[in-house]
Amino acid sequence: MRKTTVTVALAVASMWPSSSYAWGVSAHRYIMRRAIELLPPSIKPFFEANRDELVVRVLDPDLWRSVGWDEDANHFVDFGVKEYGDYPFKELPREYDTALEKFGMATLKRNGLLPWREAEEFGNLRRAMQSFGRDAAFAGIETVLFAAVAAHYIQDAHQPLHATNNYDGQLTGQHGVHARFESALFDRYESRLTITPPPVKAIVAPRDTAFEVLLASYRLVDTVLAADKAAVAGKEEYDDEYFDRFFAAVKPVLEQRLGESISATAGLIVGAWERAGRPKLKLQSPRPIQKVRKPAAVAARW
Ligand SMILES: [Zn+2]
């Protein structure tokens, strides 16, 4: 009985690649760190002062999955599934309510919720920034939290294999390509990458931007899969030579998507700040003063 449970659990776990933490740990952190450099002078000091925490927290949404929270679907959209039609997948409404009504929650969750999650966390970030204006006690810590979290999802959207139903090459006999692309290549060849982020544009429509980013990712899927296939041709295992070949073929894709991911991360923070009314992001949290309540005020509630 117990054995069966374990077997089933393992089978379920193996359906999603264990390291499908888009970009892996090092790349997410790298993207976050470089995005802070691109922020405008009016908000950069706040993010520089909180750099270490942002660089750690950008991983949080992946860890929520490990904790056991209902989080998986927020990290991808499986373009390519029959119900969404052909590129550019107009069968999937961009409006959440319309998409929900059309497909139902089970289908939407199975195929991924990333753009709507992005919009939700962008809103959280905007409101956290707005709360600086009210001297809210948690304005600073929440701005850091939501900047990191909102950043995570837009970073995921730039990873081509987070925009396809063939996310681990499982439909084309290329199992494990997800981690080979997003983690192994970055970890092995980081020093050989030349990453030049394009100019930062403020993102003010996070849901639509996430859809555009995912569509651009989808257009790169065939390149990544073809490179993986060619690199392993005639081999029994994914050895150093395989990785050298794979890297040589997808280096431009990797550099382009990492660069764009850095700019989008900065653009998201700038956009939320603009939508928040450009508040001053104070480095010191105010120390709230609690007033002594008068007994009458307490009594009035009974
Ligand atoms: Zn993720």
Class of residue 71 by CB neighbours under 10 A (exposed 0-12, middle 13-18, buried 19+): middle
Region 24-281: CATH code: 1.10.575.10
* pLDDT at residue 280, as a whole number: 96
Ligand 1 center to 113 CA (angstroms): 12
What tokens appear for 302 in the block? Answer: 């009974």
Instruction: List C-alpha distances in Å: 45 to 36, 181, 249, 261, 281.
Output: 9, 34, 39, 21, 9
Ligand 1 center to 22 CA (angstroms): 5
pLDDT digits (tens, 9 = 90+) for 231-290: 999 999 999 999 999 999 999 999 999 999 999 999 999 999 999 999 999 987 656 678
* pLDDT at residue 285, as a whole number: 64
What are the sequence ranges of the domains in the chain? 24-281
Ligand 1 center to 292 CA (angstroms): 45
Pairwise CA distance, residues 182 & 108, whole Å = 25
Against a cut of 0.95, is the pTM above it? no
Ligand 1 center to 67 CA (angstroms): 14
Ligand 1 center to 44 CA (angstroms): 25
Pairwise CA distance, residues 296 & 301, whole Å = 9
* pLDDT at residue 288, as a whole number: 66
Contact status, residue 151 vs residue 265, Cβ threshold 8 Å? yes
* pLDDT at residue 122, as a whole number: 98
Ligand 1 (ion): residues with CB under 5 Å are 22, 62, 75, 156
Identify the CA nearest to 116 among candidates 81, 73, 175. 73
* pLDDT at residue 48, as a whole number: 98
Ligand 1 center to 114 CA (angstroms): 10
Q: Which stretches in the chain have pLDDT values below 70?
A: 1-22, 285-288, 296-302
